[in-house]
Amino acid sequence: MLTIYSDKHKLRNSKTELVGGLLVEPFERPSRMEHITARIKETGLGEMIEPRDFGMDPILAIHDADFVSFLSTAWEEWKATGAKGEAIACTWPARRMVQICPNDINGKLGYYCLATETSISEGTWEATLASANVALEGADRLADEKVLFSACRPPGHHAAIDLYGGYCFLNNAGIAAQYLLDKGTERIAILDVDYHHGNGTQDIFYTRDDVLFISLHCDPMDEFPNFLGYANETGEGAGEGYNLNFPMKPGTKFDEWRANLKQALDRISDYAPDALIVSLGVDTFKNDPISQFKLESDDFTTYGADIAKLGLPTLFVMEGGYDIGEIGLNTVNVLQGFEAG
């Protein structure tokens, strides 16, 4: 299996994540990707290549232009205030407040953010662009390769039309999906197996029927992102019926998770898409430090094979997974399971 990878992910190297009332080293850190690429080499999964630069058009095809402009300048604007730390949102348009973007950088951060754990740091934008290109290169080669792995970092599935957070800035899977549609593909399914709900992807395609979005995740009643991912969110307008959430309780084991996956795969099969994009988070692993599902490493191989049975051209796009020691094993297990499936 071909992997698309860019060294530029290392430019996303924030020093602070707000969690538990403290600023700590971010769980989403460069060594995650180093362990994944090491495992790819160790297992001989296949070649790793750099992406081309696809420019801004495929990004602006799904993201708000003012939001993209904000992301591209946020670090410079923040630095100009003389702030000593990284750029963290402090206030936001809460209930009954007005939904307008203020002039000052603190206001802008809050307007465009959905969660403060994600600091904007030097190099974040460059790494984010490279990550989008990693997804786009995978999408561009999908017709030829049939299956690829876009080793995206930073991840993307929490990034909405005009919101960042949850370690995500641009929605890599969404950008890849729109690129395929714009190249003539008629229908895409996005299957999000990350532990956290893919709120950004849902937001982007919620009113559309050319992208079926299905997410398996921890119940937002109990887990980030808390404010999207409920079972009653089924799409709107033309998109009604094309959004499907499978929230599961903390502590969920593979049997229950796989039963929901089977329902998801059945729905994808009925939809008969031209291609599948998998938002691949491996934070469902039992030892993940910030998650509460109970998958074993072998379970990742099993469900990779389950997904393969759809027989669809499939682009895997990397999302979350924070058990650094096992992230390579679990990620490559899915890909190897798919190849063997």
Contact residues for a second copy (CB under 8 A)? 16, 18-23, 78, 81-100, 102-104, 106-107, 110-111, 113-117, 119, 160-163, 165-166, 199, 203, 220-228, 230, 233
231 CB-contact burial (10 Å; exposed 0-12 / middle 13-18 / buried 19+): exposed
Q: How far is the CB of 326 from a second copy (least distance, A)?
A: 23
Catalytic, out of 9, 63, 158, 196: 158
Q: Which residues fall within 8 angstroms of residue 125, CB to CB, at 6 or more apart?
A: 71, 72, 74, 75, 169
Please name the amino acid found at residue 15.
Answer: K
Active site annotation includes 158: yes
Helix residue spans in 146-224 (DSSP H): 172-182, 199-205
Q: How far is the CB of 116 from a second copy (least distance, A)?
A: 5
* For helices 297-308 and 254-271, angle between their N-to-C axes, nearest 10 degrees: 20
Q: How far is the CB of 230 from a second copy (least distance, A)?
A: 7
* For helices 324-340 and 297-308, angle between their N-to-C axes, nearest 10 degrees: 30
Decide whether 79 or 309 has the Cβ nearer to a second copy.
Answer: 79
In 3D space, the residue among 236, 154, 156 whose CA is nearest the CA of residue 199 turns out to be 156
The dihedral over CA atoms of 317, 323, 326, 329, expressed in degrees to the nearest 10, equals -10
Q: How far is the CB of 290 from a second copy (least distance, A)?
A: 11
Other C-beta atoms lying within 10 Å of the C-beta of residue 266 = 11
Confirm if 283 and 295 have CB atoms less than 8 A apart. Answer: no
Decide whether 73 or 226 has the Cβ nearer to a second copy.
Answer: 226
3-state secondary structure of 297: helix
Decide whether 137 or 192 has the Cβ nearer to a second copy.
Answer: 192
Q: 328 is written with which tokens?
A: 């390579």
Q: How far is the CB of 136 from a second copy (least distance, A)?
A: 25
Decide whether 84 or 184 has the Cβ nearer to a second copy.
Answer: 84
Q: How far is the CB of 110 from a second copy (least distance, A)?
A: 6
Q: How far is the CB of 300 from a second copy (least distance, A)?
A: 26
Terminal CA-CA length for the chain: 13
Decide whether 22 or 325 has the Cβ nearer to a second copy.
Answer: 22
Decide whether 135 or 159 has the Cβ nearer to a second copy.
Answer: 159
The dihedral over CA atoms of 317, 284, 229, 56, expressed in degrees to the nearest 10, equals -20
The β-bridge partners of 102 are none
Decide whether 131 or 199 has the Cβ nearer to a second copy.
Answer: 199
Report how far residue 324's alpha carbon sits from residue 108's, in angstroms, rounded to the nearest whole number. Answer: 33
Residues with a known catalytic role: 158
